[in-house]
Chains A and B, each alone.
Chain A
Amino acid sequence: MTTSPSTASAIRSAPAAAERGAAAQRAQRWRKLGITLLGWGVALTIFFPIFWMILTGFKTEAEAIADPSLIFTPTLDSYVEVQERADYIKFAWNSVVVSFGSTLLALLIAIPSAYAMAFLPTKRTKGTLLWMLSTKMLPSVGVLVPIYLLFRDIGLLDTRLGLTIVYTLMNLPIVVWMLYTFFKDLPKDILEAGRMDGAGTLQEVWYLLLPLTLPGIASTGLLSVILSWNEAFWSLNLTTSQAAPLTAYIASFSSPEGLFWAKLSAASTMAIAPILIFGWLTQKQMVRGLTFGAVK
């Protein structure tokens, strides 16, 4: 290689090289410090509104609208007050029922479908997968009017069942896709062996497929819960009071007379905490689901 002359000269002037090496190391250290500071600076800036919201939840209403300050006596008053208002529990319960209900339903419908696509592929499998993806491209607002009128006529407006149905169908394509990618990674021999032992399709799925792909199914389920929990188009348009989830509850703080920042912060913190943790746990698999496998 062309480096040999310089290597030779480096051997000849060893002390100078050591000097240069030390300088390079120092430069390296400064670079590292710079990157550390920049990385943390950016991360903290992006996170700041969330941090501030969590902090405000522990302030009194007077402190919440006073000049920004980090020094205050933390209080749980806002949390207690929000909890005491019976309606918070109702909204939270609606969120839980609707997001977990729709996720369970979506998994139940999607598992057989993804199983068929992964293990019994036909010529049309690819087409079906792509068609499912394309149903996600229909903007909600384009079908708002008919869904609203249909729901009004069959009495599903402002019911948890109605919202659950919408969320199930909304997430079904993503759930099928994610499960399909997880199932496809499973070695075919394992299921083959089960079939040799005389296992039927149902036993094969229940005793072999589900236990083996449980982590994948769990992260698919979590993604579906996250998307349903945070959904704020259908929940704002299809519910008013009975079935309204937390997204709608928080939206009710937008009225000018509802300027209770500490309570808004406490309620918001409780509303986002579980999802934030789910999100942190599943970020890797989420990429797979959100990009339909186009980015790995």
Chain B
Amino acid sequence: MTLMNKNRTSGRTVGGLRTLSLQAPAVTLLLLWMIVPLAMTIWFSFQRYNLLMPGMTGFAGVENYEYLLTDPALWSAMGTTLLLVGWVLVITVVGGTLLAVLFQQEFLGRGIARVLAISPFFVMPTVSALVWKNMMMHPANGVLAWLAESLGLPALDWFSSLPLTSIIIIVSWQWLPFALLILLTAMQSLDDDQVEAARMDGAGPLAIFFYITLPHLKRAISVVVMIEMIFLLTIFAEIFVTTSGGPGLATTNLAYLIYIRALLDFDVGTASAGGVIAIILANIVAIFLVRMVAKNLEQ
């Protein structure tokens, strides 16, 4: 695409030449950043390449893929990835929509309440994961354990009895504010007159929500879903500092599996095959997002 761009513009006006020279640094760097590692990942995925076995190299054909696809760990990681992405999406989109409606109402100190509610999104992942792990979910000294005991319930050892649920809670806590932030912004462009007119015609709050607010938010919701999906497919830090993928493979998602294969087992070939699978998954989502943004550019 970019090469065609160069050919077409360079032969024309001075403006075209200027455009080319101004864009060259950004375009060249991004092209390198994308093509080189991508090509290497694909190349490695067909190679026999293990850093611990330097003698064993050469073309492996689809061996790495075969090995990976018959490895139960991959399917378990895929399942974990889907569960993690799916649940976080449901929680953040439904929760974010409801919260956006709530924070759109006028009330005393709304500005400060909004700022507090979107704050977790700005907290670095390692901090939020450790605060939840140590201070909220700790089975002996955590706030949740204390709450449960005050209510006369047994304290829960979150990370050993409900490992994936715990990760889902932490990740949702980080991404709910993102959904809220985007949906609240979208909500501000909702036509007040339309809502007022509907109210005059006797529409209740529920009818207004389902027939006016929700359709208005449809586009913003789909943007939230796609952007979250791309980030959530490769959640890493939260797993790294809390469960390290365990117990067993309970919280190992695709990203963490590739990390284990590459940097702990030094199996470059298999890790790269895993990388290719991750890229394919992300691109299925990305196509829709790019299309939607493209439509917006035309307007």
Chain A residues engaging chain B, CB cutoff 8 angstroms: 32, 35-36, 38-40, 42-44, 46-47, 49-50, 52-53, 56, 65-68, 109-110, 112-113, 115-117, 120-124, 126-150, 169, 172-173, 176, 201, 226, 229-230, 232-233, 236-237, 246-248, 250-251, 253-254, 259, 261, 264-265, 268, 271-272, 275-276, 278-280, 283-284, 286-287, 290-296
Q: Is B57 an interface residue (CB 8 A)?
A: no
Q: Which residue of B lies closest to A95 (CB)?
A: B124
CB distance from B176 to the nearest CB of A (A): 7
Q: Is the CB of B237 within 8 A of A146?
A: no
Q: Is B220 an interface residue (CB 8 A)?
A: yes
Q: Is the CB of A137 within 8 A of B286?
A: yes
CB distance from B64 to the nearest CB of A (A): 12
Interface of B is mostly: helix
Q: Is the CB of B29 within 8 A of A276?
A: no
CB distance from A186 to the nearest CB of B (A): 16
Residues from chain A with a CB closer than 8 A to the CB of B186 are: 295
Given known contacts A47-B116, A149-B268, A201-B18, is B27 in contact with A39 (CB within 8 Å)?
no
Q: Is the CB of A139 within 8 A of B234?
A: yes
Extra pairs beyond A139-B234, A276-B122 (10, CB < 8 Å): A35-B102, A120-B19, A122-B9, A144-B275, A145-B272, A149-B268, A233-B255, A250-B124, A279-B122, A294-B293
Given known contacts A133-B293, A146-B40, A232-B237, is B124 in contact with A272 (CB within 8 Å)?
yes
Q: Is the CB of B134 within 8 A of A259?
A: yes
Distance, CA A40 to CA B108, complexed state (A): 9
Q: Is the CB of A268 within 8 A of B297?
A: no
Q: Which residue of A lies closest to B271 (CB)?
A: A145
10 A-B Cβ contacts within 8 A? A42-B113, A53-B131, A67-B141, A133-B290, A138-B34, A139-B233, A230-B122, A272-B127, A280-B122, A293-B293
Residues from chain B with a CB closer than 8 A to the CB of A144 are: 258-259, 262-263, 271, 275
Q: Is B107 an interface residue (CB 8 A)?
A: yes
Interface stretch among B83-91, B177-185, B207-215? B177-185
Q: Is the CB of B1 within 8 A of A128?
A: yes
Distance, CA A112 to CA B122, complexed state (A): 29
Q: Is B204 an interface residue (CB 8 A)?
A: no
CB distance from A136 to the nearest CB of B (A): 8
Residues from chain A with a CB closer than 8 A to the CB of B275 are: 141-145
Q: Is the CB of A132 within 8 A of B116?
A: no
Interface of A is mostly: helix
Distance, CA A151 to CA B117, complexed state (A): 39
Given known contacts A35-B105, A116-B23, A124-B9, is B30 in contact with A132 (CB within 8 Å)?
yes
Distance, CA A201 to CA B237, complexed state (A): 44
Q: Which residue of A lies closest to B257 (CB)?
A: A141
Residues from chain A with a CB closer than 8 A to the CB of B279 are: 138-139, 142
Q: Which residue of B lies closest to A255 (CB)?
A: B241
Query: Chain B, interface size: which category?
Result: 35 or more
Residues from chain A with a CB closer than 8 A to the CB of B181 are: 283, 286-287
Distance, CA A237 to CA B41, complexed state (A): 17
Q: Which residue of B lies closest to A169 (CB)?
A: B33
Distance, CA A259 to CA B129, complexed state (A): 14
Q: Is B158 an interface residue (CB 8 A)?
A: no
Residues from chain A with a CB closer than 8 A to the CB of B128 are: 49
Q: Which residue of A lies closest to B238 (CB)?
A: A232
Distance, CA A272 to CA B121, complexed state (A): 11
Q: Is the CB of A148 within 8 A of B263?
A: yes
Interface residue ranges of B8-40 to A (CB < 8 Å): 8-9, 15-16, 18-19, 22-23, 25-27, 29-30, 33-34, 36-38, 40
Given known contacts A113-B27, A124-B5, A124-B9, is B126 in contact with A232 (CB within 8 Å)?
yes
Distance, CA A201 to CA B18, complexed state (A): 9
Distance, CA A169 to CA B176, complexed state (A): 27
Q: Is B289 an interface residue (CB 8 A)?
A: yes
Contact digits for B141-175, partner A, Cβ 8 Å, 1 yes 0 no:
10100100000000000000000000000000100
CB distance from A292 to the nearest CB of B (A): 5
Q: Which residue of B lies closest to A3 (CB)?
A: B200
Interface residue ranges of B70-115 to A (CB < 8 Å): 99, 102-103, 105-110, 112-115
Q: Is the CB of B182 within 8 A of A295?
A: yes
Q: Is B236 an interface residue (CB 8 A)?
A: yes
Q: Is the CB of A112 within 8 A of B23?
A: yes
Q: Is the CB of B272 within 8 A of A296?
A: no
Distance, CA A148 to CA B266, complexed state (A): 11
Q: Is the CB of A230 within 8 A of B102?
A: no
